[in-house]
A and B are shown apart, each in its own frame.
Chain A
């Protein structure tokens, strides 16, 4: 009977905390320490903004997020994770892809640190305090939450006599409630039931299934990641459409904030391109018809081949100036035609100004226009430029840049037979801010443009460098008007080598001197191939090669073929090919020797054969002698 009384008293004392006032603390998860870890499902994030996890004295609410298995509801309708007010958790959470997860092994200490582990069939053991995982909250038990929960004017342990420890879940009773392990007794130790010291063997036995599970898991294939449940997220999305999604706002439109974006997309073509289009009406037409009108369209030009007309062709629309396909010297142009010449553009001619160079327009990687024309090393080059305003002088410089030509986004409009002289950044005369920005040490040639007939067109004649490579021609215009100062036009020139004749000897090539190289062209009038009249173009045809075996022709547009004759070699009769205006012919030609067998049968071989014959004859004589002796 006495025992029964004691039991009733004990139960009564145990139930006292139930009547105690609840803590006012409503905690959230720490933004740094928010990850639990499971061998089976990986990281579990308790602190996502969308998950909105809250810890109160009685329960946990919100959602935890598993990287691989989606949302875990901490407060499902049929269960939920409960808090006994002192941080000892119990009850179960629910994951669409994980099933139930039991939290009875998890606790929160009076500093808000989670410890222990939850467990589930799929999730396995979800640890809250492993080597790299930790979950922390700002929730505190009533005796450590800086709140006077029982309104007795005393706050927390040890000030409030109702608190037996900082981990006590109630300030409500000043009488020590005694008991342990119940729902929040005053003497509840800070170590929760599941963390009580257990005998080592029991611990080991308890840990055995987990260890076995880990071993089994090692041999199991990895589970494929499961998509997070849509239903869980559904609950997070507001039914009412947020302002952003109402379709009323222009999310990418003109505002002060995105002005640079608008500026970029609507910006016109760079001034260099506009100036070019202004100076070459055909180019303007091309731009208009292909819709190249804005800065962003420059990118579209990169893979396209554009060719600007040479001096004669650019003037042809303004009146008859000579036969089709042939250039006209500047001096022979009428004053009216000369006025139409695009200003501040350097035109290149050759062959006594009878051949105009084709100008290939390309776009560099930086989106700048670049002009290229083609020639061959050591040939004469006539340059012509028309300044916009009266000038005191026009000077030119040839500067060496590099041995090989630089790759550009566009190819030259030349076939493989042709050489190239490249003029880059050429067209546009830039005001010269500094004194002549010529790399003095690299200047190969300095020359002066002259205007003997005072027609406003300045011309100069230079020899292209003999060594192939990349060069730059800089034309500097010194204006009479001091305000205008000086302007420079920079041109990049790539010079390719001449063609040569050779004979192949294994891997080596032997140049052939003294060969006669004749160039034949298809005369459009007679429709017959004739020897090309090179003298009209200040050149020779046929050409006789020197010790280097080199030859080259700079020819106007047309159809041509080459014929090569050399002593002791078979005659080479090339196939006809097309040449564009202002291009060079410099094919490397292999000649076959007439006496090819001489190479195989030299004096040593002849001597060897002779020796073999003598031997055979000797054997024959021996045989004859033997027969005679037998007889």
Chain B
């Protein structure tokens, strides 16, 4: 250990050179010990909330600015402006790029007013008492929500969430650069598109896709099946440009010709592209993961009243219709049906129906051993 003491200050100045003095070492050691002791006593991550906290009544009225936490480019910016004007508040926006990042930010203690977990994340949040109960009487537009979602599997009685967009995962591609797409997950492994392929940077989507390609169940965690899926993903790496959930931007800036992506995003790309006709979406015959996003209010939200107003605002049939036109996903809102049918007319591939949600494969909420097994696979794929 270095404990020389340098007191010769004359001559050359040494911006970085000083012996580690014994006293400072002791101070540092004490600090370390204190911290280790505190940590050992369990002062730290307390992410298990209390049930009572979640049941408190919240009135839908302005109680401050809205702290909004959602995927990027996943809600019409014009609607945000309109909400700000209507209620005289500012919407402070943050984005996450995967459910895992959303959980990480929540776990780190960040306080948001409205979040957008998907149907695999919601049960975990509810089980840990992290979501506020939503009083449907306070939501004037609640009757616009499809019956199907009044008591969904992931949130009994729709007590803590309202549904947002309905999604299906498939492949987005550029017609002007690749031809002969086969409607199969093999399309993500095309050698003639080497260096122009992206896979979603989401462990469930990526491993799920590999499971499908190998003929397994979407959520399989059988050891040999996972091992095989892992190997498929590792073998795919030389063909890939990258792992990313930003399919919209990657397609637009030309980095991607073939992108593992979501149905609505192809509409978003077309809205922003110079030549919309070259962008296509396909679902794959081995299997189609479907699901829906939701809107929810975290239990530690600082402005839950404004959040309730925002949720109600998004449930307004006209606003829902505008949102559908912006982001291309069907919303289970009576006001949005026509808007989506118009989009689907041009491109039936982007449709997700209630039947799909009922009978299709959905990502299951992952906890415990299953989660750890999938995490390990994903870490090994990334590091290989």
Tell whether A and B belong to one assembly.
Answer: no
Interface residues of B (CB under 8 A from A): none
